[in-house]
Each structure stands twice: as C-alpha cells, then as structure tokens.
C-alpha cells in the first residue's frame, strides 16, 4: 500500500527520537497500519545527515515553508517549539490538506482555538498528545475515554524539572538553589530554568487540560501561577510533620460553569498516590462525577517517551488517511469547536483553600496572640499550631495550619501581619489540598 509520508519540522532531541522509533519499529507499525510510514522531509537549521538513522542529505532542508507546501506530504510533525514560525506553518499545513502532530504546548496554550478551528475548517486534525505529560496518554484519555463523564477536578504533576527538584529537596535535605544547580549540570533543568521553575510550563499544560476536561478555553494569563523557588527546607520539614508532601500542582476545578485554574506549590497528604510520584515523573489525577478518581503516571519528558506520544498520534492520523472516505477524525478537544466556549474563570481572590502558614518571629509572649487575632479578624480560623523551639533571643518559626479560608482574606491578613515590627521576614504560605 502507498506509504504515509511525514514532514518533520525540527529534528532536535524529540525529533531524533521520532525518527528512531519510526525506523526501529517500522515493521510493527506497518503490521498495525497496513502501509509503511515514510519520512519525506526534515526541516532543521543545524541537522547534519545521519545515514544510520536514514537521515540522508537529500531529506534535510533548512526551508520549513517548502516542506509545509509539498503536495506529497500527508502529515506535518511540528517540533520547532515556540510561537513562530510554528503557528504559521501549522496553519499552512492544515490549509493545504495535511494533518498535523505537535508537541508545542506553549504555542497551543495561546493559539489552540485558532489552530483547532482551522483544522476543522480544513477537515483535518491536530494530534497533540506529546504536549502534556510526555508519553502519558492524557490527551486522548480526556478526549475519548472520559468523554461520557463530567470531570470535576484535575490535579497534575506536569513539570518534571520541578518534581525532580522538590523530590531531591524532600529526600536529601538540600536547598532549592543547590538542587537546581545540580539539575542544570545533569541536563534535567535548562540553563534558563524560568519557564519550568516559575510554573509557566505547567500553566501552559493546564490550559490544554482545562479545554479537554471541561470543554472551555482559558489563556495562560488567566491561570494563577507560582513557582517553586521560594520553597525552603523549613517548609519541607513542617510539611512532613503535618503529614504532607509539597508538590508543584496544576489544579483545575469546575463548579457551576466557573473554572478555577492555578499552578502553585501544594501540600498534599503524604500517603496520597500523587505524593508517591517522584523524581522527574509526571502524573495527572482526575476526579470524574461517575468514574471517581483515576490517575495516569509516567515519564513527562525525555527523547523516547515524548517520541512515543508523537508516533501514536502519527499512527492514529495515518489510519484515518488510509481509510476509505477518510472517516471520523477526533475533534482535537473532543467537541466541535463551535461547542467550545471561553471559560468563566474564578478570580484567585475567590478561591477557597486550607493554608499552611509560617511566620518568623522572636519567641516572645504575645506574638502568637497578635498573629491569631489578625487572622481571626479576617475570618481565618486556625486548625493547628506548631511552635517547637523556645528561645526568646532568636527568631523561630511559628507554623499554623488554617481551616478553609478565602484567598482574599488570607492575603489581607498576611499584609497586616507583615507590618508587625517584630516580623523578621515576610510570612510564608502554602496552599493545602487534603481531600483530593
């Protein structure tokens, strides 16, 4: 049977993984599909020919625009990353009758409506399994397997760098800067790690998860986003004492048509399955109305795990291209785009959480009382207090756990407490999710 022909835009780490997988598993893929998958062109500015992978000089070009226009190509696999030219090339590919596979969460988080509408108009589809959770099949799970149910909440460990750093900090007692430097040396963190450690990468992924889980779109700017750089050994130790583990979670909930979406360090019960997700692994924990809780766990990044997601999308699309009539492609978000609305997003100030609070103050009589009364005046009630060390000479941590409180009230209370002359540093707060 006529081969299905792929145009690859970008052949770095993941692209090379895709080439390896298509080549190494060619016979099995052809058994599944009934036709071979062939790489027709690779657009990359710096790639050198690599005959052992079948990447001959003839296949390689610097001209991505030309690859996108080629009539002999069926599927464009976009692995450039970044907004442009990725977005333009994808739109052109769709307009010229190609299907698209991409791992580009940063671009999709902002432009997915435009791109998925263009796909629908062209009668094509966009596979983006690799964009969230690497090799974990969370996109098709939300789009298809959970499509008969209503989702209530999504909790994701979706940034491997942050999870690796927090796992090391928790297991080996090192401080953030130290572990980050180590992760950078070993290649687990980027030279410029801001996108990961500030939570933006997780926020991009959360936008896609929200669209799939709830059928509404939000923009990254609508996701309240905090990173992990302020987490200290103090907080990790107190978390443990309170029975919690600290994870960077991407959280989305839906209630009465309003979406809550936030990314921040979160204390979760130490015996929860998500707390056992260590190192650079990812996991997405979903609560559905009928299904209850499910969890999906695996490698969220890396050459070969991400490549398996890209190849699964290629296979899926190839199957439809081969079929008589082309058949029923999946809608990228599981709904026709006409059914997808902009989300109504709950302002962060209205979010209700339990909180862990840490105040650094001299251990003098009255300090605890002063803090407690400001909290009380702001309708925040204290569930428990830890104040172990007794030494009036030095600054000691006063640690509290609150009952559920509104973010607006907490912020106001902390602003008032921060003004106490006795406070040696800004109060620290970490949100708790206990009933997930």
Which residues are near a second copy by CB under 8 A? 17, 21, 25, 28-29, 31-32, 34, 129, 135-137, 140-141, 144-150, 215, 271, 273, 276-277, 288, 290-299, 304-305, 307-312, 314-316, 319-320, 322-331, 334-336, 339
């080629």: which residue's tokens? Answer: 70
- State which residue, 141 or 266, has the beta carbon closest to a second copy: 141
- State which residue, 159 or 308, has the beta carbon closest to a second copy: 308
Distance CA 300, CA 106 (A): 15
> 379-406 burial string, b = 16+ CB within 10 Å, else e?
ebebeeeeeeeeeeeebbbbbbbbeebb
- State which residue, 97 or 347, has the beta carbon closest to a second copy: 97
Smallest distance from a second copy to CB 264, Å: 24
Rg (CA), the chain: 24
Distance CA 391, CA 432 (A): 29
- State which residue, 89 or 164, has the beta carbon closest to a second copy: 164
């569930």: which residue's tokens? Answer: 383
Smallest distance from a second copy to CB 160, Å: 12
- State which residue, 120 or 407, has the beta carbon closest to a second copy: 120
Q: How far apart are the first and last CA of the chain?
A: 50
Phi (first) and psi of residue 145, to 5 degrees: -65, -35
Distance CA 65, CA 86 (A): 10
Phi (first) and psi of residue 399, to 5 degrees: -115, 135
Smallest distance from a second copy to CB 102, Å: 16
Smallest distance from a second copy to CB 242, Å: 20
- State which residue, 46 or 328, has the beta carbon closest to a second copy: 328
Indicate the SS3 state at residue 245. strand
Smallest distance from a second copy to CB 172, Å: 16
Contacts of 289 (CB under 8 A, 6+ apart): 149, 150, 151, 152
Neighbours of 211 (CB within 10 A): 26
CA distances, 48 to each of 40, 51, 55, 58, 84 (Å): 16, 10, 8, 11, 23
Q: Which of 254, 312, 259, 320 is nearest to 288 (CA)?
A: 254
- State which residue, 243 or 326, has the beta carbon closest to a second copy: 326
- Report DSSP state, residue 22: H
Smallest distance from a second copy to CB 368, Å: 37
205 is catalytic: yes
Distance CA 222, CA 346 (A): 9
Marked catalytic residue, from 20, 48, 62, 205: 205
Smallest distance from a second copy to CB 295, Å: 4
Q: 297, 138 in Cβ contact below 8 A?
A: no
Element at 239 (helix H, strand E):
helix 233-241
Which residues are catalytically annotated?
205
């Amino acid at each position: 049977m006529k081969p299905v022909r792929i145009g690859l835009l970008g052949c770095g780490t993941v692209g090379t993984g895709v080439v390896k997988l298509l080549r190494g598993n060619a016979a099995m893929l052809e058994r599944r599909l009934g036709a071979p998958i062939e790489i027709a062109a690779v657009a990359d500015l710096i790639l050198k020919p690599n005959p052992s992978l079948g990447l001959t000089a003839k296949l390689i070009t610097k001209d991505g625009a030309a690859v996108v226009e080629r009539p002999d190509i069926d599927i464009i696999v976009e692995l450039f990353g970044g907004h442009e030219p990725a977005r333009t090339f994808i739109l052109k590919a769709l307009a010229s009758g190609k299907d698209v596979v991409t791992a580009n969460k940063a671009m999709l988080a902002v432009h997915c409506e435009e791109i998925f509408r263009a796909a629908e108009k062209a009668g094509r589809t966009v596979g983006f399994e690799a964009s969230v959770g690497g090799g974990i099949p969370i996109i098709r799970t939300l789009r298809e397997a959970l499509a008969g149910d209503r989702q209530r909440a999504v909790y994701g460990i979706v940034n491997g760098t942050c999870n690796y750093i927090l796992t090391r900090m928790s297991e080996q007692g090192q401080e953030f800067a130290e572990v980050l430097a180590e992760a950078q040396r070993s290649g687990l963190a980027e030279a410029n790690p801001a996108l990961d450690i500030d939570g933006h990468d997780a926020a991009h992924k959360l936008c896609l998860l929200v669209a799939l889980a709830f059928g509404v779109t939000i923009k990254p700017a609508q996701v309240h986003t905090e990173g992990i750089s302020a987490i200290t050994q103090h907080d990790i130790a107190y978390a443990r004492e309170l029975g919690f583990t600290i994870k960077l979670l991407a959280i989305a909930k839906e209630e009465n048509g309003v979406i809550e979406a936030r990314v921040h360090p979160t204390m979760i019960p130490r015996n929860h399955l998500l707390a056992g997700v260590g190192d650079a692994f990812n996991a997405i924990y979903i609560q559905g109305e009928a299904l209850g809780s499910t969890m999906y766990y695996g490698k969220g990044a890396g050459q070969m795990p991400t490549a398996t997601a890209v190849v699964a999308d290629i296979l899926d699309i190839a199957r439809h291209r081969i079929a008589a009539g082309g058949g029923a492609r999946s809608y990228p978000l599981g709904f026709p785009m006409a059914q997808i609305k902009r989300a109504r997003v709950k302002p962060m100030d209205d979010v209700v959480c339990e909180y862990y609070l840490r105040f650094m103050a001299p251990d003098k009589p009255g300090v605890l009382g002063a803090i407690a009364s400001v909290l009380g005046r702001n309708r925040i009630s204290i569930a428990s207090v830890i104040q172990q060390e007794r030494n009036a000479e030095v600054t000691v941590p006063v640690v509290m756990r609150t009952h559920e409180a509104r973010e607006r009230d907490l912020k106001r209370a902390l602003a008032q407490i921060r003004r106490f002359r006795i406070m040696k540093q800004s109060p620290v707060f970490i949100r708790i999710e206990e009933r997930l």
